[in-house]
Amino acid sequence: MPRMAQRVAALGTTIFAEINRLARQYNAINLGQGAPDFDAPPPVLEAAVQAVRSQLNQYAPNTGLLEAREAIAQHAERFYGQRLSPEQVLITAGATEAMFAAILGLSDPGDEIIVFQPVYDSYVPNMRMAGVLPRYVNLYAPNWSFDPDELAAAFTPRTKAIIINTPHNPTGKCYSRRELEIIAELCLRHNAIAITDEVYEHIIYDGGQHTRLATLDGMAERTLTISSLGKTFSATGWKVGWAIGAPELVESVNRAHQFITYSVATPLQAAAATALNLPDSYFESLRAEYQRKRDKLLAILRGAGFQTFTPQGGYFIMVDWRAAAPEHIQDDVQFAEWLIREVGVACIPPSAFYRAEDKHRAAHLARFAICKRDETLEAAAERLAAMRVSSG
């Protein structure tokens, strides 16, 4: 019987699959995984249909359709004043492939990459598969800020890169300009690359601003910016993403990308061009709609007795569940399972975003997804209200 490779055996299976399975089994309202239960904007859907009907069904160029790369470059200029040529844009199968190709293309086995914990769940497995060692720096509640000394101490002569996810999953933290300046200064001092994951760049609350690390002094040539279509256009299943930055960085990522996927779904790239060229009003209404949903879910979760951490951006609200759950529950995984079985609502246990020895840091937390229709949020509210009565 052939055996699984050690490279993947140690990775285990993701908690997301397990939560989705349980949620289906118990017919729970799923506020777990970050996928909208509403559709992409009609002009974007129409553009994809048109592209399929216009014989755009063969391989795209390896780095991406020119019109899509131009649209990505124009989007970067419109929102962040970045000037990029289409050669500085690589289209990938979502931000997920961009990150893996970036790690493979920019680091060697034995190198170290710094990540902030809680850490989005694909980064460290990507590093392990590449033979790269993670170095962890903690984000501390309630503001999910980091200790600059702890960060400085994580840099070593083997540090190749640091990954920054802003707005952040799962906490909703948006790194401030000051925090990014601290990171930039350390990258410059240690000659390290910054890889940013900005998939939630357009989902920002309370009039806040998304700051792009690549636009800080000295960072353009050492920052690879990753983003994707999924969150901004409610099309997570399309898996169209990109990596942008200095030509040498992008070329390094493409060296890996060309032998992973080679290229990405052609008609969806054509639709990506339409999406990214939508007027400012689209991006403004997306932000307003998410603000409304965030406020609605915050009120629901507070009403259910949870202590909430107000997110500054992104798809999720973190809560401390201890005041609202029965006393026998010991940790976040037990809480998430109990909530599905007994209340009929699914959330994600955030210990999935911590390494084994730090999972206790998230034992009292749960992550709920904002990106749902009002009806879904209201149905969850009804069930959570019933929880309050029975556990209180």
Site residues, ligand PLP (CB under 6 A): 34, 94-96, 120, 165, 169, 197, 199, 228, 230, 236, 239, 241
Task: Pick between residue 239 and residue 294 the one whose CB is nearest to ligand PLP.
Answer: 239
Q: Are 253 and 90 in contact (CB under 8 A)?
A: yes
Shortest CB 115 distance to ligand PLP, Å: 11
Shortest CB 133 distance to ligand PLP, Å: 21
| Cβ neighbours around 121 below 10 Å, total | 17
Shortest CB 369 distance to ligand PLP, Å: 10
Shortest CB 274 distance to ligand PLP, Å: 18
Task: Pick between residue 63 and residue 169 the one whose CB is nearest to ligand PLP.
Answer: 169
* 23: its two tokens: 């949620």
Shortest CB 37 distance to ligand PLP, Å: 15
Task: Pick between residue 316 and residue 343 the one whose CB is nearest to ligand PLP.
Answer: 316
Shortest CB 58 distance to ligand PLP, Å: 23
Task: Pick between residue 120 and residue 205 the one whose CB is nearest to ligand PLP.
Answer: 120
Distance CA 199, CA 169 (A): 10
Return the HEC string of the chain: CCCCCHHHHCCCCCHHHHHHHHHHHCCCEECCCCCCCCCCCHHHHHHHHHHHHCCCCCCCCCCCCHHHHHHHHHHHHHHHCCCCCHHHEEEECHHHHHHHHHHHHHCCCCCEEEEEECCCCCHHHHHHHHCCEEEEEECECCCCECCHHHHHHHCCCCEEEEEEECCCCCCCCCCCHHHHHHHHHHHHHHCCEEEEECCCCCCECCCCCCCCHHHCCCCHHHEEEEEECCCCCCCHHHCCEEEECCHHHHHHHHHHHCCCCCCCCHHHHHHHHHHHCCCHHHHHHHHHHHHHHHHHHHHHHHHCCCEEECCCECCEEEEECCCCCCCCCCCHHHHHHHHHHHHCEECECHHHHCCHHHHHHHCCEEEEECCCCHHHHHHHHHHHHHHHHHHC
Task: Pick between residue 261 and residue 307 the one whose CB is nearest to ligand PLP.
Answer: 261
Task: Pick between residue 319 and residue 343 the one whose CB is nearest to ligand PLP.
Answer: 319
Task: Pick between residue 230 and residue 344 the one whose CB is nearest to ligand PLP.
Answer: 230
Task: Pick between residue 105 and residue 305 the one whose CB is nearest to ligand PLP.
Answer: 105
Shortest CB 121 distance to ligand PLP, Å: 9
Question: CB nearest ligand PLP: which residue?
Answer: 94
Shortest CB 223 distance to ligand PLP, Å: 16
Task: Pick between residue 31 and residue 329 the one whose CB is nearest to ligand PLP.
Answer: 31
Write the CA distances from 355 to 76, 79, 107, 134, 269, integer angstroms.
34, 35, 21, 10, 35
Shortest CB 230 distance to ligand PLP, Å: 4
